[in-house]
Amino acid sequence: MDSTRRTLIPKAFLALGLWVGFWGLSLVIAGALFWVPFAQGTSGDGVDPLGWLAVAAGAGVLWAVRPRGWFTKKESGWAALSPEEAPRLHAFVQEVASRCGAARADEIGLEGGAGASIGIERRGLRRIRRVNIGFPLFAFLDREELSAVLAHEFGHHQGGDLLLGPWVYRTRASLAQAVDSLEGSAFFLDVPFRAYGRMFLDVSGSVSRGQELAADARSVSAYGRRAAWSALEKIHRLAPRWSVYLHAVAISVIEHGCRVPLLEGFRMFLARQTLREDLQRRVEEIEARAPTPADTHPPLGERLAAIDVHGRALAASRDDGSGCLDLLGGEQGAETLFYARATRGKLREVGWADVGRDVLAPAEVERFAEGPLALERVGPRELPRLLADWSSLAQSLSGGGPSFLSPAAERTRVHHLLERWLTAALIKRDFVPTLEPGAAMTLSRGSETVDPAVVLLALIEGRLSASEYLARCQRWDVRG
Amino acid sequence: MRAAVERGDPFAVYRALALGRLTGRLRQHRDTVKALLGNRRLFARPMKQGSGPFLGTFNGFGATLMGAAEKDGTTQIATHVAVAVFFIPLFPFGAYVVSPAGGGAMHRSWRLFARVPLTFGTWLWQRTLSLGALAAVLYAGYGAFHATQHHVLHVLNGLNEPVNVTLGNSTMHVPPGGRQVIDLPVGTVRGIAKLDSGAEVDDQQISVRSGSQKLVWNVAGAAPLMLGEIRYTSDRATASNDQGAEPTIYCGQRVVSIANVDFAFADPPKSISMPKGSNVIVRHHLAVVPVERKGPDLCIGYLMSTGKLTEVLPLLELAARSSGWDPARTWTLLVVARVVAPDRAIPLAEAALREKPDSIAHHRMYQALSSFRMSVADLQARYRARADGAPSSAGAQYLYARLLRGPAGVEAVQAGVARFPDSPDFLRYLLAVEVTRGRWKQAQEAWERLSRLAPDEAGDVLDDGITSLVALGRVPEARRQLFERFPKWQRHVQARAAVLDARLASLSHASDGDRLVKKVEGDSTDAVMRVRAGLSGGGEGSVEKPIADYQRIVLTAPEKVPAAASALPPMASVGLSEAEWALSWCECVRLGEQACRQSLERSLHYSAYDLEALARFVRGDAPSIEVIALEPTVRAAALLVRSRSPSLASGERDRLVAEARQADWVHDQIIDAIPAWTRPAAR
């Protein structure tokens, strides 16, 4: 028996045990509840109201744990990269597989996050082994580092982790569904499932973390400590920023039907000394997240220490390098492949320098064409009044629907809206918007540059008096 | 608070804030917290997809949205509650941001936007109710589990004194006629019941099983436990036509397990609600039949009347022992023991004698029993030794003398009377001897003296006493004595006195022949007694069927007697009159029918020696029956049956019939039977 099989058997038993444990727990609880009226009927003086209550509770438990979505077809991700689209990448991945002694990948795909994954999908009778590689990895990891990442993923396959994954997933899904269904149960029926869920996450998390370390070890043995260390360090450093950039900056522009240079924008995002406040807060939130026992991956420090406890590989890992975009036919080709999968319809190509003027400005002006802040009726001079009577504005903006915000949150929402409204109003007054990834939008006309957010904050905090503001408004109204 | 925030549960955050405010931990943020708690929309959760709250009521029961808190424009917060009985809110499930749409107060439609937390107070109330419900279900579960491992045993004491019951390691005191319950683990448990005196009255291995059946330990089987049907009918017409099944009586059954009992040892309701279209609903009621006098008599009577002699024997023994071996109870016990457990009869009689060594009645019973097991010489020797050991004891002398037969017996009784003139036992024996010898004056004197000294004892030889008066031609005096002494006698003597009075009334052409019969009958009519008294009347409904049928056969169809006697219920022969019994027994003897003869030899009235002497006379093996002291009716019956022997010459037969007619001085049933019994017999 080889070592892989030796480690697989206890894992298999554990996964199966956790799965059986969930159903055992469900059936024991339901069975115990159904047993109450049965025992009352056969051994006592008949079924009393409490017996019927137990029947109802037992039925509730069975209903809550009923299997759902086991056999529904799951999204397999973006369309795979064909060998014709990315011949070098295919050759590269298969070479890595060969070097690791792993089976070849049947499909290679792209994914939006700064990570990689490997999985097996059933398509009829076929089992498709698919490797997904995060788009930004091509930009920031060199070939050795990307090889180490792929070797890690193939290590999962070699360790048999992919066979156990579906069982763990099903159990996790069933638990989540049961807890969701029984949430707020009048009889505390969710309590045992919550407790089991915590235990399950702890146990499965521990196993999963062990699998990650084992996959890291395979990566090291195939491509060395430096590559593994460096790839891991880079991914952990860049992933939070990529996530914030992609979702809070890039996608908000792409949503307007534009194709912006994604990687160029990210480089600009990284290059900024200070990020816009809300973006910086998001990055810090992700980075500051404390490890929990349910985590599927060990903390970075633990993983790096497992690779090289003395940290000798650290010195070589700080160079972000030029990446390996050639595997996707260069930066332009890589982005084409990304957009082809991540978006639908025809996109208009726009550079970051023109995004403010060509994309956001028309959209903002359009947004305030109607409604209580219609630019034709309400000018920037109204801002002090609107700030003073923000609650009336909030009410008229809500359209009569329910509000779930606190007064402070409602006020903040109104402030954000007024910030964008002021931006649109200034655009109408020939101010040209400029948006750099990671920075706030600025508006400039001639030599005057206005940051609407700064103006609004100064007005709110009293650093800018109403009269001073009105004087500026008078100046703004004079068209350049 | 931190944990609630990290969990991403806004409801938990709301509750943490409310708790912090209550406990004063958030005092420095009081205003903020107050503002937050005053706006539950801030803690809203989206509605679960496709799973809105159930809303619907039927007759005021169901679930609905109630309340209109924190109104904001067109929306408000309503609580989803379970309601019952006129929409009284019972259990709050959750709260929702809603917008009321159309409809009235109770049938309004709603638009639901989001879930919000219940107010802290309502949440506490919900959790309290939930905990209560959870505790109740757990308790029900425990109760159900306990029920599968235990079962309640009802212990009934049908005796007239308390019993101390030991069941495993538990003990309990059950008062007379009382009931106690005990929860026992399933399995087999030994139950022992003892009287306060320490005497053990029952010892059972009780199998305890879980289930809804009722498990009852009826100590000694003495309590009249009954399972009856209670029939609830929808209208009076159905009720009058619906009699239902006979109740099941569990007398004599010690441990019973009864299923499908609806009301156990509790009064059933007068009425119940019935489903539509149902005319009759049957419920089963388990109870102890209420008795005026505590004790096992009701069960003994029931078992005797239904022929369940095996079951009644232990009860009789218990009743006899607990009564201090009362003669009447002892007699019944020994008679039944002779039938169902012959080997136990003499040990029981000996046990009675150990307790009552000087009781003449018990010795008489013992002698009668022993006569069937030992020779007359052995029995005489035993009692002679006893008499020699107590020469001054009238009882000891009497008990020996009554075993002697022929001239020796006459001499012994005369000597005994001379030595112990006030001994009722010698006097009653002398009376019987003098009647047998036809010395009516001496017999009448003995009767008078006995009646004076011991009226109760005189009742036992009523036939001899009255016959002596009739033989002396003093019929009016005989009737007067019967009438005057009637109230002092025991009931069975009263019944015989009533028959004799009626017969003598007929003899003297008096019209008040039923004066005592009516007293015995009371409000009812006793057809069997009326036949014995030669009176007409008696409804069919009051007739004791087996005795009446047999009585008719004896008086009209003697050829059927052997078969009918063999088929009599075990104890029925005890209820026959002297004439009915004597005619039957003698005919069985004459025909050599052993089964028939044994069926009739269940009374301890005559010893085996007397019966054998009588048998020899009936069969024609002995010329006379003067050697044994027989009641006149029995003597007349023996003469009549002997006359039926086909080998006799007609003259001899006529002589015997004439003697029989003469021997029946009171014109008892023998005279009634003569026409049928003098028809030529088949064999």
Q: Token digits for A111?
A: 């994914």
pLDDT for B590 beyond 60:
yes
pLDDT value of position A309: 73
Residue with tokens 């804030």: B17
A interface test, pick of B115, B139, B212, B265 with most A CB neighbours within 10 Å? B212
- Cβ partners under 8 Å of residue B282, min gap 6: B229, B230, B231, B232, B244
User: For residue B299, which of B263, B337, B253 has the smallest C-alpha distance?
Assistant: B253
Rounded distance between C-alpha atoms, residue A89 and residue A135, angstroms: 12
pLDDT value of position B591: 93
Q: Given pLDDT bands bounded at 50, 70 and 90, which one contains residue B445? A: very high
Look at A187 and B210 and tell me if their CB atoms are within 8 Å. no
* Chain B CB contacts of A180 below 8 Å: 48
Rounded distance between C-alpha atoms, residue B458 and residue B481, angstroms: 12
**Other C-beta atoms lying within 10 Å of the C-beta of residue A69:** 11
In this prediction the ipTM stands at: 0.74
Rounded distance between C-alpha atoms, residue B384 and residue A442, angstroms: 145
Tell me the nearest-neighbour CA distance from A39 into chain B, angstroms.
5
Rounded distance between C-alpha atoms, residue A175 and residue A196, angstroms: 8
Tell me the nearest-neighbour CA distance from A150 into chain B, angstroms.
34
Chain B CB within 8 Å of residue A465 CB: no
Residue with tokens 């023109």: A354
pLDDT digit string (tens) for chain A, length 480 residues: 455 556 667 777 777 788 888 889 999 999 999 999 998 888 777 888 889 989 988 998 888 888 876 666 666 678 899 999 999 999 999 999 999 888 889 999 999 999 998 888 877 778 888 999 999 999 999 999 999 999 999 998 888 777 777 777 777 777 777 777 777 666 688 888 888 888 888 888 888 888 889 899 999 999 988 889 889 989 999 999 999 999 999 998 999 999 999 999 999 999 998 998 889 999 999 988 888 887 888 998 889 888 887 766 555 555 566 789 999 999 999 999 999 999 988 899 999 999 988 998 888 899 898 888 998 898 899 999 999 888 888 888 776 677 778 778 888 889 989 999 999 999 989 899 988 999 988 899 988 899 888 899 999 999 999 999 999 998 888 765
**Residue B212: which of A43, A54, A405 has the nearest Cβ?**
A43
Interface A-B: count of C-beta contacts within 8 A: 96
C-alpha B84, offset from chain centre:
50
Helix or strand (DSSP H, E) at B233: strand B225-233
Q: Alpha helix (H) ranges present in A249-373?
A: 251-254, 262-271, 277-287, 300-307, 330-342, 352-354, 361-367
**Residue B97: which of A42, A402, A409 has the nearest Cβ?**
A402
Tell me the nearest-neighbour CA distance from B127 into chain A, angstroms.
8
Q: What angle do CA A379, A380, A381 make, to 5 degrees?
A: 90
Q: What is the DSSP string of B141-164?
A: HHHHHHHHHEEEEEEEE-SSS-EE
Strand spans (E) along A308-396: 348-349
The radius of gyration of chain A from alpha carbons, rounded to an integer in Å, stands at 29
pLDDT for B676 beyond 60:
yes
Tally of CA atoms within 13 A in the half-sphere of A307 that contains its CB: 32
Chain B CB within 8 Å of residue A402 CB: yes
Look at B144 and A35 and tell me if their CB atoms are within 8 Å. yes
Look at A40 and B143 and tell me if their CB atoms are within 8 Å. yes
* Chain A CB contacts of B114 below 8 Å: 402, 404
Chain B CB within 8 Å of residue A40 CB: yes
Residue of chain A whose alpha carbon sits nearest to that of B44 = A404
Provide the whole-model pTM. Answer: 0.68
pLDDT for B682 beyond 60:
no
